[in-house]
């Protein structure tokens, strides 16, 4: 069956080929042959032209491809250049800011260097001065020189305190107790122990001719002598001024500072005060301690004598502080004028120079 099919297809092909065959007459053969020959030569010439054109076009195509590649590379490089320009612009701005910051820091450092140079110069001068002082104070000669300076200082303090004693003289008033009072002052020593244990009578001493009467413990009445109260306030003003001057000469800061005002002088006590504060977050209370400045009058303020008595007590504490500074004990808590006289006498003594 298959063989019969194949044999039947071959005659069909032969029939088609026979149909495609062109029959040319002999008379037309030469013309057809010439035409074919011319076509063949034209085809050959066209092939040659094609080859020559192809040979000419290949370099052009290659150049075009290279130029296209170069153009792409150029575009890429142009993009990179634009990015680099933007980066350079940012870097330029950063450089300007850094330069301004550096200039500002340089100016600041120049100022600090100048201040350091000034401080270094002052330090070198101070060091030179300290070396000179150390050379002066070194050895036995330096110690002697220091002692001489201390003696000059003590002598100067003695002289200024003597002026205070002339300005506010504390004297023993004349009376039957004069001999007894004179015994207690010369016998006092640096330890505060006197040869005789007799107390000094406060009423026998006067300052600038005024006696100091201690404020009564009772409330003032209508029959209280107002002149005596005024004289006592004036005497306390004198004592306060004398104490203030002596403390400044001795360079002693008083524990209870004085506000001078003559017969209306006051003494200040920085007493701690406890205040209760309530917090908002809780109902518990908190205690805070602050130093409160309280003034007490060295005169009878109205009818109440408690503040005046406490003020005299604080003034005597200042006198006790000055006495302890020069190595002498106080004569008693209510002996204001006696303590002042003992303070002035001790400073004016010869032992004060070698203290």
The arithmetic mean of pLDDT across residues 46-53, rounded, is 86
Residue by residue, DSSP assigns 31-96 as HHHHHHHHHHHHHHHHHHHHHHHHHHHHHHHHHHHHHHHHHHHHHHHHHHHHHHHHHHHHHHHHHH
How high is the pLDDT of residue 181?
37
State phi, psi for 263 to the nearest 5 degrees: -75, 0
Cα–Cα nearest to 158, from 325, 351, 337: 351
Q: What is the pLDDT of residues 95-131, one digit of tens each?
A: 999 999 999 999 999 999 999 999 999 999 999 988 8
Bigger pLDDT: 272 vs 145: 145
pLDDT of 247 strictly over 90: yes
- 249, exposed or middle or buried, with CB in 10 Å at 0-12, 13-18, 19+? middle
Give me the helices (H) in the chain, please: 2-20, 26-137, 139-167, 178-184, 226-250, 306-325, 336-347
Kindly list the distances between the CA atom of residue 261 and the CA atoms of 206, 269, 273, 299, 350, in Å, as whole numbers in the listed order. 20, 17, 26, 11, 34
Taking the C-alpha atoms of residue 260 and residue 278, their distance in angstroms, rounded to an integer, is 39
How high is the pLDDT of residue 243?
94
Element (H, E) at 297: strand 285-297
Q: How many percent of the chain have pLDDT more than 90?
A: 31
pLDDT of 224 strictly over 60: no
- 206, exposed or middle or buried, with CB in 10 Å at 0-12, 13-18, 19+? middle
| C-beta separation of 231 from 139 below 8 A | no
The arithmetic mean of pLDDT across residues 81-89, rounded, is 91
pTM for the full model? 0.53
How high is the pLDDT of residue 19?
58
| C-beta separation of 7 from 15 below 8 A | no
List the structure tokens of 312: 């005299």
Kindly list the distances between the CA atom of residue 63 and the CA atoms of 68, 70, 71, in Å, as whole numbers in the listed order. 8, 10, 12
| Banded pLDDT at 182 (limits 50, 70, 90) | very low
List the structure tokens of 200: 């000094």
Bigger pLDDT: 280 vs 300: 300
Taking the C-alpha atoms of residue 297 and residue 314, their distance in angstroms, rounded to an integer, is 11
């Amino acid at each position: 069956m298959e063989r019969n099919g194949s044999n039947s297809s071959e005659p069909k092909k032969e029939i088609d080929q026979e149909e495609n065959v062109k029959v040319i007459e002999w008379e037309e053969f030469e013309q057809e042959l010439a035409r074919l020959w011319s076509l063949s030569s034209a085809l050959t010439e066209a092939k040659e032209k094609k080859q020559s054109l192809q040979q000419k076009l290949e370099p052009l195509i290659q150049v075009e491809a290279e130029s296209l590649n170069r153009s792409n590379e150029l575009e890429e490089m142009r993009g990179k250049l634009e990015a680099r320009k933007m980066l350079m612009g940012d870097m330029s701005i950063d450089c300007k800011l850094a330069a301004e910051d550096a200039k500002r820091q340089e100016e600041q450092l120049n100022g600090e260097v100048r201040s350091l140079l000034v401080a270094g110069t002052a330090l070198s001068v101070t060091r030179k001065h300290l070396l000179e002082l150390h050379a002066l104070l070194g050895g036995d000669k330096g110690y002697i020189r220091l002692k001489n300076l201390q003696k000059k200082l003590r002598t100067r303090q003695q002289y200024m305190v003597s002026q205070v004693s002339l300005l506010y003289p504390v004297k023993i008033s004349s009376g039957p107790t004069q001999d007894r009072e004179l015994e207690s002052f010369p016998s006092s020593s640096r330890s505060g122990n006197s040869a005789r244990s007799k107390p000094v009578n406060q009423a026998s001493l006067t300052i600038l001719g005024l006696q100091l009467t201690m404020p009564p413990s009772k409330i003032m009445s209508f029959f209280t002598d107002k002149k005596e109260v005024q004289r006592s306030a004036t005497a306390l003003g004198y004592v306060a001024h004398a104490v203030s001057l002596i403390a400044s000469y001795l360079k002693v800061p008083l524990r209870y500072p004085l506000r001078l005002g003559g017969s209306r002088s006051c003494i200040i006590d920085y007493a701690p005060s406890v205040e209760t504060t309530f917090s908002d977050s809780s109902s518990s209370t908190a205690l805070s301690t602050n130093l409160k400045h309280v003034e007490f009058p060295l005169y009878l303020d109205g009818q109440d004598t408690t503040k005046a008595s406490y003020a005299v007590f604080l003034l005597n504490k200042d006198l006790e502080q000055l006495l302890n500074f020069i190595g002498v004990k106080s004569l008693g808590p209510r002996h204001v004028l006696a303590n002042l006289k003992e303070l002035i006498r001790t400073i004016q003594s010869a032992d004060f120079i070698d203290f």
